[in-house]
Amino acid sequence: MATVPLPIEIEHHIADTLGRDGSIYLTLKSHGVPEIEIAHVGQALARVFNAQRETHPGDAIMMILDSLKTVLRFEYSPSRYPEYPVFIERVGDELQARRDSIQLTDRTWAIEVVIEDNLSNAISAAGEGDALTDLIVDYVFGSVIDFHRDVRRGDRLGLVFTRSYLGDRFVRYGQVLLARYEGQVESHLAVQYEDPMGQQEYYEADGTSLERMFLLKPMVFRRISSRFTRQRFHPILKRNVPHLGTDYAAATGTDVWATAQGRVTVAGWNGGYGKMVELEHPNGYHTRYAHLSRILVRKGQRVSKRDVVGKVGATGRATGPHLHYELIHNGSQIDPRSVNRGDEARVLSPAYHQAFERQKRYLVGLLDDTRRTPPRVIADAAHKRPAAIASP
Ligand SMILES: [Zn+2]
């Protein structure tokens, strides 16, 4: 009679999420996994996963050990990119690791919101997150609407956008396909269109691009603490001094973007400005980013619009963490709000107008339907291009 193999005795089953430290090692240790086993898992993991860059608090782990506390199986699901889970399995004496790539499903949604006080509140009242507000403010309308100044109660924003799902689980926002802002100060239609050469941009109804030379602000939409003014009482100097820039209150370490493409002319300490970056742009423009905690560019380096040049800090003459941003034209500081006035926008080539018109009519049609019916899923589509694993 053949011997029936004994079923492997599963002694330990661990399911947990990484704590604030974001450490796989500490999490496994807290469950009593022996050091040698943690080391073996770490070695297998390193073949498919960059723990230093990719682990985050909240990432999910699952582990099965036998009665001798030998690891049989380990699974890791990154909270930001759950479509790329890691599986480690014991095969004989060895732990084998593999990383999956699961296709996300994109669903298209349409909503329309009416603004009471600010855009962020209107979007969250519609059940959507701040990440969607950031897409609208920073990317779609980043050069044409100043959401600190141009927004009035009763303005309407219509959106057609995609949400990406892993099964039934919402993972992240995909793309904003259409945004229609109908305001008392500014009104714009933004239609996303990718031409046959692969250039993807937002265009107004007549095919004029919404891109301009400058972004209206150098970081994610947050509170502005002090505007450009010729007179202001200075809290440290205790006298009226002009404030020839804009202060953005933000947490230390917040990314600071180049507002236009250019070349780094200063990257270092500059008196009261503290750690400062200065960029030179075409047509006699310069921008300055002051009080930084860290500088991430070198003098002479070329930068593109939205490249991160440094991190918010409180170096130099600053009472707290904020970014002091200056826009300089032909040697004197100007109000950044006026920068794109008169800037000639690119126009979509007439060769693409027919395809663009079709896309516009389709998307506007989806949005107009929401005025008659409540928000709903419009269509399911398999994710065409899975997002690359982003570095933090
Ligand atoms: Zn300032």
Contact assessment for residue 23 and residue 57, using Cβ atoms and an 8 Å cutoff: no
Name the one residue in this structure whose structure tokens are 């589509």: 381
Same domain, 232 and 325: yes
**Ligand 1 center from residue 289 Cα (angstroms):** 10
User: What per-residue confidence (pLDDT) applies to 6?
Assistant: 55
Same domain, 17 and 79: yes
| 361 within some domain | yes
Same domain, 95 and 240: no
Same domain, 238 and 283: yes
**Ligand 1 center from residue 118 Cα (angstroms):** 24
Distances (CA, A) of 220 to 49, 100, 150, 176: 29, 32, 17, 17
| 75 within some domain | yes
Same domain, 44 and 73: yes
Same domain, 228 and 330: yes
| 246 within some domain | yes
At 296, list the tokens: 């991430």
Same domain, 245 and 322: yes
**Ligand 1 center from residue 210 Cα (angstroms):** 29
**Ligand 1 center from residue 151 Cα (angstroms):** 24
Measured on CA atoms in the order 22, 309, 335, 347, is the torsion positive or negative?
negative
Q: Residues with beta carbon < 5 A to ion ligand 1?
A: 245, 247, 324
Our count of domains for the chain comes to 3
Of 175, 188, 215, whose CA–CA distance to 384 is shortest? Answer: 175
| 219 within some domain | no
β-strand partners of 95 = 90
Would you place residue 385 in the very low, low, confident or very high pLDDT band (cuts 50, 70, 90)? very low
* Rounded average pLDDT over 343-372: 90
**Ligand 1 center from residue 221 Cα (angstroms):** 17
Helix (H, G, I), strand (E, B) or coil at 272: helix
Same domain, 93 and 112: no
**Is 0.75 surpassed by the pTM of this model?**
yes
**Ligand 1 center from residue 329 Cα (angstroms):** 18
Domain boundary residue, one of 31, 64, 99: 99
| 3 within some domain | no
| 203 within some domain | yes
Same domain, 283 and 362: no
Range of the domain at 133: 105-211+345-382
Of 235, 258, 350, whose CA–CA distance to 304 is shortest? Answer: 258
pLDDT in tens, 88-106: 999 998 999 999 999 999 9
β-strand partners of 88 = 74, 97
Average pLDDT, the chain: 87
| 282 within some domain | yes
pLDDT at 51 over 50: yes
Q: Which residue has the higher pLDDT, 320 or 192?
A: 192
Same domain, 358 and 327: no
Radius of gyration (C-alpha) of the chain in whole angstroms: 26
Q: How many CB atoms lie within 10 A of CB 309?
A: 25
pLDDT at 177 over 80: yes
User: What per-residue confidence (pLDDT) applies to 261?
Assistant: 95
Q: What is the CATH number of the domain that holds 174?
A: 3.10.450.350
Q: What is the CATH number of the domain that holds 254?
A: 2.70.70.10
